[in-house]
Amino acid sequence: MGLFWWNDGTQHKVYEGTNMVEQSRVKFLGEAKIDKEWSAGYLLEIAIQGHVANRWNQLTDSSVSPNPINRDDVTFVRKSNWYLKSKRLGQVAVGLNGMATYHLLDDADPTLTRNVDDAEGPPIFMSAFLIRSNGNFVNNLTWPNILRGFNNSTPGDAARRNVVRYDSPDWHGFVLSASWGEADVWDAAVTYKQTFGDTSILARAGYGASNDPGTLVPVPSAPYVVGGTSCISSTAVSTSLPNFECTWEAAAATIQHEPTGLFVFGGWGRQVVDTDHVFPAGTFLSRTARHGSCAPASRNNGVRSGRRRSSRRTATTTPAPTPARPSAATSISGRLASSRGSKRPT
């Protein structure tokens, strides 16, 4: 549980809830050796969340999400997959799992602060807060309505999906990963981890694509989208179709001086959407968003200050009628801090 003090320039309050960067969870892992090289296993990971802190807003400290897994005091399955692993050939996992670019930006950060505030932290902490302009709400638009990225409003990061995932064995510090899921969601990533003297490096880069905008759950009061990649809207799929294609790419790295724990983390991500959906005549859709933060912090904690700027551009007149142009979003994040004795979540 954490305390969340917020101030939107007009009002301020303190809420109490679960830090949803990494909520409580229980993991069951069973593995059996087949021989000296081969092994097989099954992973089941269950989330246990109390009072969700990424679904409240100025009007209520209760979750405003109609999605059952975003409600208070629920459990749900985060991962459920079986795998076959070879020391020489790598691992293939089948089932509900993180895609190859899942937490791509976050998992390039091996430090302790990753557990409480990562690249997805800023949009998670913005939760469902309504934006204000000159003190007034803007037609009930929320920060997630303005920010982009289909997973926790973080361009470049993918999500957990039903996929077949492959991870190569370590080759001089390099690990290749790729995943594919039904309705054609796929991605690939490379991870590099190495130590040079007192300095360690962890870097990740990846690319993904999807033609599945997800499935609409038509709750009359507040529809929401599950599965797929809701790159344009998390409340509708109609504006994504036809011929929807979403691509994302990201790169991030952490360099750490091991004796002191000092480290620098930087990340970049982008999401681009193509659709033949015809928006109102004379307009095309183009969106960008970027955010960044870079701040000093003290050793072994998650203290960080930052600045997040976002913008959404949809404008420009073109000959009518016209299909939508690509929509893009970019994120840049960075951190300078110190951490020792860290443990990275999986």
Partner 1 sequence: MNLYAVYQFADGSFIGNAATAKSGAPIGKTEIDGFQELITGAKINF
List residues binding partner 1 (CB under 8 A). 1-10, 19, 22, 112-113, 115-117, 121-122, 125-126, 129, 131-135, 138-141, 143, 145-146, 233, 279-280, 282-285, 291, 293, 300-316, 324, 343
CA Rg value for the chain: 21
Question: Please, are residues 131 and 143 in contact by the beta-carbon 8 Å criterion?
Answer: yes
Nearer to partner 1, 98 or 123 (CB): 123
Q: How far is the CB of 293 from partner 1 (least distance, A)?
A: 7
Do 113 and 339 form a contact (C-beta atoms < 8 A)? Answer: yes
Residue with Cβ nearer partner 1 (148 or 161): 148
Count of alpha carbons within 13 angstroms of residue 45, beta-carbon side: 16
Return the beta strands (E) in 109-198 as ranges.
Answer: 130-133, 136-142, 160-167, 174-181, 185-196
Nearer to partner 1, 63 or 113 (CB): 113
Q: How far is the CB of 247 from partner 1 (least distance, A)?
A: 21
Output the CA–CA distances (angstroms, integers) from residue 202 to 121, 137, 194, in the order listed: 19, 42, 7
Query: Minimum Å distance from CB 13 to partner 1?
Result: 11
Rounded least distance, CB 78 to partner 1, Å: 17
> Looking at beta carbons only, is 2 or 169 nearer to partner 1?
2
Kind of pairing, strands 25-33 and 12-17? unpaired
Nearer to partner 1, 204 or 291 (CB): 291
Query: Min. distance of Cβ 176 from partner 1 in angstroms?
Result: 30
Count of CA atoms in the C-beta half-sphere (13 A) of 253: 10
DSSP, collapsed to helix, strand or coil, labels residue 144 as helix
Count of CA atoms in the C-beta half-sphere (13 A) of 87: 6
Nearer Cβ to partner 1, position 78 or 335?
Answer: 335
Cβ nearer to partner 1, comparing 133 with 221: 133
Give 201's DSSP letter. E
Q: Are strands 199-210 and 136-142 parallel, antiparallel or unpaired?
A: unpaired
Give φ, ψ of 119 to 5 degrees: -60, -25
Give me the least distance between CB of 236 and partner 1, in Å please. Answer: 9
Minimum distance, C-beta of residue 242 to partner 1, in the bound complex (Å): 16
